[in-house]
Structure 1
Amino acid sequence: MVFNDELWTISAVRRKVTLSTVENSVYNANRRLWVEQSRWRPPEHPWVKLNTDGSWLSENSAMGMGGVIRDSAGMWRGGFSRGVRHGDVLRAKLLALEEGLSFCWDGGFRKVSCECDCLGVVTLFQDRSMDRDHLHKHYDVIRCIKCMIARDWGVYVSHILRDTNSVAHTLANWGVRNLGSNVFWRSPPEFILLPLGRDSMS
């Protein structure tokens, strides 16, 4: 068999076809996995899910914190945005988690699944001990969060992709653009409806 002026044997053609089939299967499997991981999923009843994020502007070191609490039906149970001066991106994400946990506790939620798109934050709370926390730049916030997690309730913190965290990300961006703000949203604000709708369709 001649193809592109090259002589191909039947066995060579079969190998090419087999290799192409395997490559397509791997690509499709990886794409399905990516799509699956990019979907926001509600928690199991009676848990609530807390998504948090922090935003930071390098030009003025302003921080924005945002988060949303949703139940097993995906219904909005509360959200928050806050904007403050002087910080860094990691501190913003830590403060967002601290504030979100505080709202959950005050709201009477005792089974809370926390999701954050910053692996550095999630890793800090996989170890519940406080032995080495004093060495960290943001020891004050880390200690407060660990003390809250140690209360009599069920809390775990897990990592998600940025695409899955768009609602919290949008709330944090609102905070960093509105310095001095400290808002608890009892119902979804208008600017959050689009990312919230995308989550509900997933």
Structure 2
Amino acid sequence: MVLSITAMASDIERGFGTSEGVFVRGLHLVRWTPALHNCVVLNVDGSVMGVSSRGGFGGCTRSDQGQWKSGFFGFMDDACILHLELQALFHGLTVVWEQGYKRVDCQSDSLTAVTLVESVSPSTHLYASLIWDIKDLLGRAWTVNLHHTLKEGNACADFLAKHGASQGDVLVVIEDLIPRLGLLLLADASGFSSLRM
């Protein structure tokens, strides 16, 4: 299906051509990104429910080939999206540290959260304490590659963050898949998560 859509887009572009001054956007397959060999992948996300301040955070760990290892989710009341994204980073890194992983590829779809953690944060930032806690985790005796990913490639973490927002537990770590998460894992593994024009 994806290949036929891509071929069709190429045919249309060739048929109509491009002229100077006209910008034609490309068709890109957006999917979950596997990691280097022998590296666990940690995807994290935060979510706010509608116009309320009820929010959640969540994430999951997978092998470098995409096999499920574990997940987590949690609830926060009266929180903004940036706070939830940072909480997802903190709790996700804490979970994988406690599980004993030493090589981690951490992916977040919040460019703001990733930038704050990777830069020298001002001590006056509203979430300075949480940012320093994340930096402390990153400085431990392990290798963590933290980077931004597109939201379309972060579907499992998004699902768990929304699940966290819909319940009332501060933090839950799960070993087994919860309903509907298996379909997202299959989509991620096959590369058919989303098409972006």
- Fold match, TM over 0.5? yes
Structure-2 residue corresponding to 1:9: none
Q: Is the 1:65–1:175 Cα contact (8 Å) retained in structure 2?
A: yes
Tell whether 2:162 aligns with 1:170.
no
Q: Deviations over 1:75-97 (max 9, x none)?
A: 11110111121211100010001
Structure-2 residue corresponding to 1:57: 49
Matched residue count = 175
Q: 1-side partners of 2:106 and 2:122: how far apart?
A: 20
Structure-1 residue corresponding to 2:10: none
Tell whether 2:132 aligns with 1:143.
yes
Structure-1 residue corresponding to 2:59: 67
**Residue identity matched to 1:96:** A
Q: 2-side partners of 1:187 and 1:108: how far apart?
A: 18
Instruction: Flag structure 1 segments of 5+ consecutive residues without an equivalent.
Output: 1-17
SS in 2 for 1:144: helix
Query: RCO greater where, 1 or 2, for CA within 8 Å and sep 6 or more?
Result: 2
Structure-2 residue corresponding to 1:8: none
Shift of 1:155: 0.8
Instruction: Flag structure 2 segments of 5+ consecutive residues without an equivalent.
Output: 1-13, 192-197
Structure with the larger helix share? 1
Shift of 1:198: 0.6
State which structure, 1 or 2, has the greater radius of gyration over its C-alpha atoms: 1
User: Counterparts in 2 of 1:1-202, with a 5 A limit?
Assistant: 20-22=16-18, 27=24, 30-31=26-27, 34-35=28-29, 38-57=30-49, 59-127=51-119, 129=120, 132-180=121-169, 182-202=171-191
SS in 1 for 2:145: strand
SS in 2 for 1:156: strand
Shift of 1:177: 0.7
TM-score (norm 1): 0.80
Shift of 1:19: 9.9
Q: Is the 2:57–2:87 Cα contact (8 Å) retained in structure 1?
A: yes
Cα RMSD, aligned residues only? 2.0
Q: 1-side partners of 2:118 and 2:57: how far apart?
A: 22
Q: 2-side partners of 1:162 and 1:139: how far apart?
A: 25
SS in 1 for 2:140: coil
Identity of aligned residues (%): 30
TM-score (norm 2): 0.82
